[in-house]
Structure 1
Amino acid sequence: MPEYGRYCPVALASEVIADRWTPLILRELILGNTRFNDIARGMPGISRSLLVARLRHLEKNGVIATYPSPTGKGSEYHLTPAGKDLERVIDSFGRWAIEWLFDELRPHDVDPVTLTWWMHRRIAADRLPPVRTVLEFRHVGAEQEVIWLVLERGEASVCIQHPGYEVDLRVTATTAELADVFQGYRHWDEAVKEGRIVVDGLPRLARALPTWFEWSPWVEVTHERAHRPVEVRAEVR
């Protein structure tokens, strides 16, 4: 762990949150993931040993607290008041990148499983149907995969094997098109109208489906940035 010195508040904060992967771990915790495996699933590419080390570092510095899982297996990680106060910092990170690094963003690099995992943690629990509802996502194109979301009792479960229940809605699209909607480059209704996303099932459920998701925390700022007119600069002679 680098020592930046304690003579400057930015240097001191950097010792806690500026290491690689640490802001993403905080993002997962802020979004409500409290179990080790759930945190790891949101960050494909991080090793388990490094995640353990980063969680210990955050706990040591008072950002998170570890509690026994109510299931009796493993532990859960919860933000302390200091950790919750970092939500505005992580939000600013995202907004800054959208404003100033927009052309470098690669939303289509996400794989089907990771995208579905992101979607499941952004469920609007109070808007879900009162009975169990099964969504089947058929990813077509270069990456072909079928993944299910089971919505029940205000929660969502990701299944990479058929859950054994009847499918209520089938969504067919490329991973890129779904990623565009999740991130905010395109709105759901727009993508459906243009045939980029096809939904099969009861019309009333199909109409309600987009309201069941909160999408990315930066969906609105991304949509505004993606549709901002390109500035034309006069050539200086």
Structure 2
Amino acid sequence: MPDYGSYCPVAMASEVIADRWNPLIIRELVLGNTRFNDIARGMPGISRSLLVQRLRHLEKTGVVETWPAATGRGSEYHLTPAGRDLERVIDSLGRWAVEWLFDDFRPHDVPPATLMWWMHRRVDPSRFPPLRTVIEFRHTAPEPQTIWMVLDHGQASVCLQHPGFETDVLASADTAAFADVFQGYQRWSEAVDAGRIEVAGPPRLTVALPTWFRWSPWAEVTRERAGRPVAGPAPR
């Protein structure tokens, strides 16, 4: 990692979070991903060796600490108090990007598995049905793929193979439609009404489905920004 010097608070903070991957690692930890493989799944494109390197750097700088896993196998990564305080920074970065880099966003480029992984992190267990519920997300394009999400005992699991349980709710759409809802460009009900997402299953489940998710942390600000006209050139 580069040494930016200790002559300025911004320079010192940059030594911790200025690397491309460090804010994303902190984002994953803020969202509750503590196992190495779970952190890696939320960051497509990073190599395992580089992730190890960045986690060690964050641990060395006092942002991350390693705990023995509750299962007794392996380790978990957790934010220290200093790391948890960076949640404000991550949120501000996301909001700034929505405000000023909006036209450069490419939400439709997200792979189906990554999108489903992001969605499963942003669930509201207090709204889950009382019994185990299996949602089958059928991605129709650009690459057809079916992914299941199992809601059970307050936990959400993503399955790339059939989980062995019957599907309770089927949601079909191209990945772009699911991504638009998650990112905040369109509400679930709007996408369904527009025919972009098709949902099948008992009405009590199909109606409740969008309440099981909190969607992107920046969904509301994205929705607001998407509805705002692009500013033209300043008058002379």
- Following superposition, the deviation at residue 190 of structure 1 comes to 0.3
Indicate whether 1:141 and 2:141 are aligned: yes
Q: 2:56 maps to which residue?
A: 56
Q: Matches of residues 206-217 of structure 1 in structure 2 within 5 Å? A: 206-217=206-217
SS of the residue aligned with 1:162?
A: coil
- Following superposition, the deviation at residue 73 of structure 1 comes to 1.5
Q: Aligned residues: percent identity? A: 71
Q: Matches of residues 69-84 of structure 1 in structure 2 within 5 Å? A: 69-84=69-84
Q: 1:107 maps to which residue?
A: 107
Distance 2:220 2:166 in 1: 34
Distance 1:136 1:117 in 2: 14
SS of the residue aligned with 1:38?
A: helix
Kindly provide the CA deviation profile for residues 33-75 of structure 1, in whole angstroms up to 9, marking residues without a partner as x.
Answer: 0000000000011000010011111111110110111112110
Which structure 1 residue ranges, 5 or more long, are not aligned? none
SS of the residue aligned with 1:57?
A: helix
Q: 2:116 maps to which residue?
A: 116
Q: 2:44 maps to which residue?
A: 44
Q: 1:178 maps to which residue?
A: 178
Distance 1:196 1:2 in 2: 46
What is the RMSD of the two structures over their aligned residues, measured on CA atoms? 0.9
- Following superposition, the deviation at residue 143 of structure 1 comes to 1.2
TM-score, length of structure 2 as denominator length: 0.98
AA aligned opposite 1:52: V
Q: 2:194 maps to which residue?
A: 194
AA aligned opposite 1:34: T
Kindly provide the CA deviation profile for residues 121-140 of structure 1, in whole angstroms up to 9, marking residues without a partner as x.
Answer: 10101110110000000000
Indicate whether 1:24 and 2:10 are aligned: no
- Following superposition, the deviation at residue 141 of structure 1 comes to 2.1
Distance 1:234 1:83 in 2: 41
Q: 1:141 to 1:4 in 2, by over 3 A?
A: same
AA aligned opposite 2:179: A
- Following superposition, the deviation at residue 235 of structure 1 comes to 5.9
Aligned residues: 236
- Following superposition, the deviation at residue 18 of structure 1 comes to 0.7
Distance 1:197 1:73 in 2: 40
SS of the residue aligned with 2:191?
A: helix
Q: 2:93 maps to which residue?
A: 93
SS of the residue aligned with 2:138?
A: strand
- Following superposition, the deviation at residue 20 of structure 1 comes to 1.7
AA aligned opposite 2:210: P
